[in-house]
Structure 1
């Protein structure tokens, strides 16, 4: 019986040295499906071979993946990374309180170094949890210096990133056409790279004069994709979709974030024009954008990806995102059936569908389906090995896709590979200590807290209005030795 390979030491990984995962359960997320006891060979930045008992070049490092699951790297298509420095600060907020805090009150106090610190922490968390590509929905870029700070953070963390450039304090039709922004684009994105790409991030408010028209025109001129919050209760409505459609701006290059409260006609327009939807289930369930949209959009054949939104509420735990999405979709199915006095006997959305959203769905959303999202020969080597020999939750592995969605967790992330580079191995990040980033975040938090002043504590604990109690007639009172029902 062949013995498992000796575990390589972290220092043995080198950019020019191939390595192979041996004897994994490989979820390819392509037509090959799930491969048992299979190998995946990585050469340079590319997946070189997939299959059982692969012959590999001499000198190839071998990683024992037996008892583990190898998946494509997860792709988060909507994350306000700069807000990670205030992790959990708004955990008890409703969406309106989020808007008041950032949009109306304190958004202008955040400096470029605050953007940098929050992005650094978020980027480190992403690769640590197996999120190999993150779209930074960076709507706090009041100046191009803020944008440069965001980019600097990405250059220091070995992940794959998309900067969704936005500035909620200005009109997108204006800032996207300023000389400063155009120079920023030319300076940073004149040489194509699939490690760091650019999109425009802005919302269509439904204002009759359609002030976002200039931003769409800028995106078209610059060859950039657009990501926009759509179908957010009380904020972005069907009117926004109609304006975009009538102007000819709805294309496969647009991602609609949330898309929870749209009508059938809007969903049909998204489907007909090849758009995608980024679903942030934990956010939608808690903050109130609307019911998570997978239940609605799958009826129209709209591709979905997953996202975590912001750590001012939630973490970057993509297992939580997958689990919440599958559960929310099934819950809605049951509720709708019960309202018709029917019973669901077959779950329509499956774990493998949600895993597709977390990988190929994300790659489709950012326009990189030809390079990312599946374990396919010739694609970029962005991979996650889930393996934890001491975790009861990692044995037995009977249904691999269900195991990833409903059983595994961040503690089971053994190895993370981004662009062929091992950035985490045996559960430990390689050359990526937390301490320097923690210090930068602490300095940022102290500054922000000093600017907010006495309102800091109040901001974390919004007051709960008093509810009027509902009278209950089903109480009991003592009457002698007997219990009698109290009169209402």
Structure 2
């Protein structure tokens, strides 16, 4: 497992050179383009060459005939700790999500529950081709909960960033409550565990804490060299957030290290402020539509000069794979104004996600010198132009192979070194205990009106 920009050390006995040969290459790099038949050479975990044909001498060969070879997906915002309750929130409004997931269930999470959710959730994402993921962790009830969440990510063989959020035990979505100031010591402690790009501040405010607290929290993040990710939207159950972006700009909180999550309902002039500051925006189309945040702002963001990234968001309400997110976001925007193409959305799920995580020089495209984080998809007809198929018809069942920094973590449709049945059993036991303690029916019945 690797955090952020860390590279895994070469394993004893693993070939220093690997040639992924004869696939349909969708590089995501305009300088490389797409290859109907191409090879990708990996040396010491990095992409060494991409070309129609490369010499095989001295390399372990991975036969990619009949496969689409693409950069791994990047999920820029996922509440992974909630994985055990996948599907529970299919019918939830945002108010119901706050009342059930955050208000009723979260207080009963133990550190081991967080660990199991993060471990299974990260493995689930990896198996569907998400090679890089930002875990937006807002269940830090104690320092032990945060440590357990990190441990779950460490044990999953993917590239992860940990978004630490200091929401207190009494917080619930839309409450407007805050855990108070004073996150510096805990954030510094987490920083010691996660050097480099491995730690992100998942900001409580300004919608869930005061502006003064928000300013103080960002100052701590800047001192520690951290990126900042923050929810801003006008969905039901939140403070309106009117002119939040403008107020953040007035306090010097917007720059290229800032990612706005959602952004629904932000006015045109405030979108321009984000673009001018170099901020990124993470769009979660499935959750935004289902929970009443408003239309995903993908097209408006692009018009403002912001190329967004994509994210899954909360696990009870959405699927865990990027294909579903791509399909929803693409279909909605095409229905609204036909302003974006399948290739645009493919870029949102890869290189723009990498940029939102501060890793654009490391992952997100099949570019010489970047880490070899790549995915092989089964392609029934190798002559089909693949980008449209990936966006409109892709699904996790097509993911044949996944490589992280050149190391195979999934081959021939099977995750390597993972006992999924045993892990699932432990997660289900955890889920049932939490639900029973909270008095929540796991079939979704009895949810509060919202």
Tell me the residue number matched to 2:280: 276
Structure 1: which 5+ runs fail to align?
A: 1-11, 334-346, 389-393, 466-488
- Of 456, 460, 463, the residue aligned with 2:441 is 456
Q: Deviations over 1:448-471 (max 9, x none)?
A: 022113x43685443679xxxxxx
Task: Provide the secondary structure at the position in 1 that maps to 2:366.
Answer: coil
| Cα 1:421/1:175, change in 2 over 3 Å | farther
Q: Deviations over 1:135-194 (max 9, x none)?
A: 1011111221111001111111110001010133263662422x24422322x024x3x6
Verify: 1:56 aligned to 2:56, yes or no: yes
Superposed counterparts of 1:65-464, under 5 Å: 65-169=64-168, 171=178, 174-177=181-184, 179-186=185-192, 188-190=193-195, 192=196, 196-205=198-207, 210-234=212-236, 235=238, 237-333=241-337, 347-388=338-379, 394-395=380-381, 397-453=383-439, 455-456=440-441, 460-462=445-447
Superposed displacement of residue 55, structure 1: 1.2
Report if the CA contact (8 A) 1:415-1:423 is conserved: yes
**Larger RCO, structure (CA 8 Å, separation 6 or more):** 2
* Cα distance in 2 for residues equivalent to 1:330 and 1:13: 49
Tell me the residue number matched to 1:9: none
Structure 2: which 5+ runs fail to align?
A: 1-10, 172-177
| Cα 1:13/1:430, change in 2 over 3 Å | farther
Q: Deviations over 1:367-421 (max 9, x none)?
A: 1111110001100000001125xxxxx3254322101111222111111001111
TM-score by length of 1: 0.83
| Cα 1:228/1:421, change in 2 over 3 Å | same
Task: Provide the secondary structure at the position in 1 that maps to 2:99.
Answer: helix
Superposed displacement of residue 48, structure 1: 1.2
* Cα distance in 2 for residues equivalent to 1:433 and 1:364: 33
Report if the CA contact (8 A) 1:200-1:219 is conserved: no
Report if the CA contact (8 A) 2:205-2:213 is conserved: no
Report if the CA contact (8 A) 1:173-1:214 is conserved: no
TM-score by length of 2: 0.90
When structure 1 is superposed on structure 2, of 221-230 and 104-113 the one drifting more is: 104-113
Q: Deviations over 1:330-371 (max 9, x none)?
A: 1111xxxxxxxxxxxxx3201110000000010010011111
Task: Provide the secondary structure at the position in 1 that maps to 2:166.
Answer: coil
Question: Which structure would you say has the larger Rg?
Answer: 1
* Cα distance in 1 for residues equivalent to 2:63 and 2:115: 37
| Cα 1:309/1:13, change in 2 over 3 Å | farther
Tell me the residue number matched to 1:338: none
When structure 1 is superposed on structure 2, of 101-110 and 279-288 the one drifting more is: 101-110
Report if the CA contact (8 A) 2:96-2:448 is conserved: no
* Cα distance in 1 for residues equivalent to 2:249 and 2:289: 28
Superposition RMSD in Å: 2.1
Tell me the residue number matched to 2:41: 41
